[in-house]
């Protein structure tokens, strides 16, 4: 009992002495809207997810994913984390693709993760959820110390409680930044070092600024909680580098606004997968060509494609998003060399 009390006291002291600053509201971006029931809404209103027929046919086709072998999934590059652990001291700006929407970013002597998901089946029903085709690019044990995590929204492939719990246990000082309405979910799982932000709010951490920003998406984790929690994109800006994480989003005018007010960005992480069928996905997921438009709007010098190939979430072939992302640069401001398609586990400087 005494040990439990001491552990609890230690966690309280860590939270009180954390390097984070109180969140502040930036005048650059409006806070998120809510409807009359208090549920969050997109600036353009409700999103279309296609007709009942489109959605029903899609769900039936999902059954066929159990027979796909994943041979067209991304390649995996072995990464033992040695350079990344050493780089936590030197802080050469790097990005490492762990898989799906999970990136390890190092800049300004900070190491942080985006939407970390190490689970094999992130799903409310794990036995029938989409399985992972490629192992995470780096094991959790090989990570450098993680300063903070940013979470875009509460869908299971982006807010993976087993992973977040493991990260919190690994390092009780790790901070978890989430959009409004998501903190209670983490705290219920025993993760207390949580900072909840609205669109337009910022937080400071050891010389970098963390911006909670608009996105065009939705939230749902159970049958009754649709839109009760907010979704967001994120920017992390420091003295020498600016990084943007789109999370999960459809193409919308907010990219241009973010680019005007916070850009140009040195690197933007943009989702390029889970876009078919378009009648169902168009307003909440970008295709590769729209991702390139978003990168242009954000004034990104370089863009890395994420959210494809790791899990089988939609109708397009697993290897189609990166091919279209590269090919689409012919009609984009971004050069092909600056439209990055990484191997899972690959680290690249930016």
Along the 350 residues of the chain, how does pLDDT read in single tens digits? 333 333 333 333 333 333 344 567 767 899 999 999 999 999 888 899 999 999 999 988 888 776 777 889 999 999 999 999 999 999 999 999 999 999 999 999 999 999 999 999 888 876 777 889 999 999 999 999 999 999 999 999 999 999 999 999 999 999 999 999 999 999 999 999 999 999 999 999 999 999 999 999 999 999 999 999 999 999 999 999 999 999 999 999 999 999 999 999 999 999 999 999 999 999 999 999 999 999 999 999 999 999 999 999 999 999 999 999 999 999 999 999 999 999 999 999 99
Q: Is 16 a domain residue? A: no
CATH number at residue 89: 3.60.15.10
Instruction: Looking at the chain, list the stretches that DSSP marks H as alpha helix, in order from N- to C-terminal side.
Output: 2-16, 52-62, 82-90, 161-170, 183-188, 254-262, 278-281, 288-297, 320-327
**Paired strand residues for 180:** none
Euclidean distance between CA atoms 193 and 53, whole angstroms: 43
Q: Is 94 a domain residue? A: yes
Q: Is 9 a domain residue? A: no
Structure token pair of residue 187? 């705290």
Q: Is 56 a domain residue? A: yes
CB atoms within 10 A of CB 284: 20
Q: Is 24 a domain residue? A: no
Euclidean distance between CA atoms 227 and 34, whole angstroms: 9
* β pairing state of 194-197 and 175-179: parallel
Q: Is 25 a domain residue? A: no
Q: Is 338 a domain residue? A: yes
pLDDT at 13: 33
Q: Is 243 a domain residue? A: yes
Number of domain units in the chain: 1
Residues in the chain: 350
CB atoms within 10 A of CB 87: 20
CA of residue 327 relative to chain centroid, distance: 24
Structure token pair of residue 167? 């990260």
pLDDT at 20: 42
pLDDT at 120: 93
CB 216 within 8 Å of CB 39:
no
* Greatest alpha-carbon span in the chain: 65
Euclidean distance between CA atoms 57 and 59, whole angstroms: 5
pLDDT at 49: 92
Query: 247: domain range?
Result: 50-349
pLDDT at 18: 37
Euclidean distance between CA atoms 28 and 35, whole angstroms: 22
* β pairing state of 233-237 and 242-245: antiparallel
Helix axes 320-327, 288-297, angle to 10 degrees: 50
């Amino acid at each position: 009992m005494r040990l439990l009390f001491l552990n609890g006291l230690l966690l309280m002291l860590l939270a009180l002495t954390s390097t984070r600053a109180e969140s502040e509201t930036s005048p650059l971006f409006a806070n998120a809207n809510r409807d009359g029931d208090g549920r969050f809404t997109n600036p353009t209103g409700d999103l279309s997810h296609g007709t009942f027929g489109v959605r029903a046919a899609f769900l039936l086709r999902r059954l066929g994913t159990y027979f796909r072998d994943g041979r067209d999934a991304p390649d995996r590059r072995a990464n033992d984390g040695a350079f990344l652990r050493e780089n936590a001291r030197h802080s050469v700006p790097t990005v490492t693709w762990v898989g799906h929407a999970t990136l390890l970013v190092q800049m300004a002597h900070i190491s942080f993760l985006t939407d970390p998901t190490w689970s094999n089946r992130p799903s409310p029903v794990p036995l029938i959820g989409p399985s992972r085709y490629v192992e995470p690019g780096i094991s959790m044990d090989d990570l450098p110390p993680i300063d903070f995590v940013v979470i875009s929204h509460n869908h299971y492939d982006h807010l993976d409680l087993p992973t977040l719990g493991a990260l919190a246990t690994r390092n009780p000082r790790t901070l978890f930044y989430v959009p409004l309405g998501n903190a209670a979910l983490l705290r219920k799982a025993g993760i207390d070092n949580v900072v909840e932000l609205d669109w337009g709010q910022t937080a400071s951490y050891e010389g970098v600024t963390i911006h909670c920003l608009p996105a065009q998406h939705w939230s749902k984790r159970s049958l009754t909680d649709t839109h009760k929690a907010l979704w967001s994109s994120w920017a992390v800006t420091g003295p020498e580098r600016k990084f943007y994480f789109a999370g999960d989003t459809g193409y919308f005018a907010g990219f241009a606004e973010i680019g005007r007010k916070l850009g140009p960005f040195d690197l933007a992480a943009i989702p390029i997968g889970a876009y078919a069928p378009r009648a169902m996905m168009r307003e909440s997921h970008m295709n590769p060509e729209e991702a390139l438009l978003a990168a242009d709007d954000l004034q990104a010098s370089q863009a890395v494609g994420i959210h494809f190939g790791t899990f089988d979430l939609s109708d397009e072939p697993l290897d189609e998003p990166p091919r279209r992302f590269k090919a689409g640069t012919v009609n984009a401001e971004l050069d092909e060399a600056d439209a990055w398609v990484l191997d899972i586990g690959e680290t690249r400087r930016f």
